[in-house]
Amino acid sequence: MLRLISHETGSCYQRCVGFDAMNSLYMTTHEIDKAHGTPYFKRFVDFLKMIQSENLMVVGGMTDPKGDRSKRPSEQSDPDVFTHVVEKREDGIVIRGAKSHMTGSVNSHEILIMPTQNMSKGDEAYAVSAAIPLTAKGITLIFGRQSNEERKLEEGIDAGNKEFGVVGGEALIVFEDVFVPWERVFMCGEIDFSGMLVERFATLHRQNYGGCKGGVSDIIIGATALAAQYQGTANASHIKDKLIEMIHLAETVYACSVACSAMGYQTQSGAFYPDPLLANCTKHYITRNIYEISRLAQDIAGGIMATLPFDQDLRSSEVGKYVKKFLVGVEGIPTETRMKILRLIENMTGGTCMVESMHGAGPPQSQRVMYQRLGNLPQKIKWAKTLAKIKDE
């Protein structure tokens, strides 16, 4: 589904974070209730039914600003750098803090906040999960800047992928004493399940990347092949080889998503969970392969992609004739057509979208940490000893 949607947008379409938050909370609230006798699972199912019936968009609220990363949430000089509960009332809770880099937040109806990391004793106030309308009193959304954002306000070729080109509507979401009724609270102090929720969300979100980035890569590959056709280089052997490599890289990341899904298993709630190790492999490949796909696209497109004149120059009565004359490629293809595809490649392979591919769902180091945890190195050593006929001392 994610790959197919990417074919329609050519950019982030901002839904997957909310999907992953809902899936991870569905699984985890079921197990919290079993361990602590809490009513979270039913509350969450009621919320989920409402979201589905009203067709609302949900942003997953995972990442906190974190402040001094050498200190735990309860050790921070400013407690608000981690979202936390400041008051428990008979009818609900009051939260304060912020969520950073929230993809799709400016376009969403609700936010599902979750703890940003595994919490320890003393961090109970920070182990909170809840659903909050983004119009609630006390919420401020501060929109993040995008690459070439002023172009989106322009008409013509320079806007690039104008309809969908904003990477993900990211924002810093500030909570100033926001009240949340109990029926919308799905975790409140259960530090023993905070790590499980974080890991499940991360695994589900990393599973997704081979889908959406595989689809975005399909568009980049098609645009690059078209640019080669327009400039008369499509039949060159090195161009064909680079396009083949781009296809290989795109299918590799998609295969990782399919693999971690196929190797998943059913949780106690009945919902299915992808294989965590393979899901982390999916995202780790994205942090490398999407850059290589983009590098090859820019290689094939040529330096003209970065030095194209303004769209206004193309249409200028004074210099437009020169732009059309000297920037034309293959005979029969208008200069404007060539400029359109070059702007699309520029829009899809540079700036903020590359940073999102690196850091969305966690930077590469977070996946490497999971490799160490899930890679079962002691068992691999045991297998090697068995084959080498080495006995433990």
State the catalytic residue, choosing from 84, 101, 205, 284. Answer: 205
12 assigned to active site: yes
Q: 16, 188, 256, 281: which is the annotated catalytic residue?
A: 16
In this structure, the strands spanning 128-133 and 110-113 are antiparallel
Q: From CA 167, how far away is CA 147, in angstroms rounded? A: 9
From the candidates 30, 124, 212, 335, give the one annotated as an active-site residue.
Answer: 212
* Of 12, 312, 361, the residue nearest 168 (C-alpha): 12
Decide if 327 contacts 307 (C-beta within 8 A): no
- Catalytic, 260? Answer no
Catalytic residue, from 110, 124, 170, 190: name it.
Answer: 170
Task: State the catalytic residue, choosing from 38, 83, 103, 349.
Answer: 103
- Respond yes or no: is residue 205 known to be catalytic: yes
Listed in sequence order, the residues at least 6 apart from 140 whose beta carbon sits closer than 8 Å to its beta carbon are 173, 174, 176
Closest C-alpha to 162, from 171, 170, 153: 153
The answer to whether residue 212 is catalytic is: yes
Q: Are 304 and 327 in contact (CB under 8 A)?
A: yes
356 is catalytic: yes
Active-site residue (options: 12, 188, 256, 353): 12
Residue 281 among the catalytic residues: no
Q: Which of 124, 190, 346, 356 is catalytic?
A: 356
Catalytic residue among 13, 40, 126, 209: 209
90 is catalytic: no
Residues linked to residue 179 through DSSP beta bridges, in sequence order: 94
Catalytic positions, written as ranges: 12, 16, 103, 170, 205, 209, 212, 356
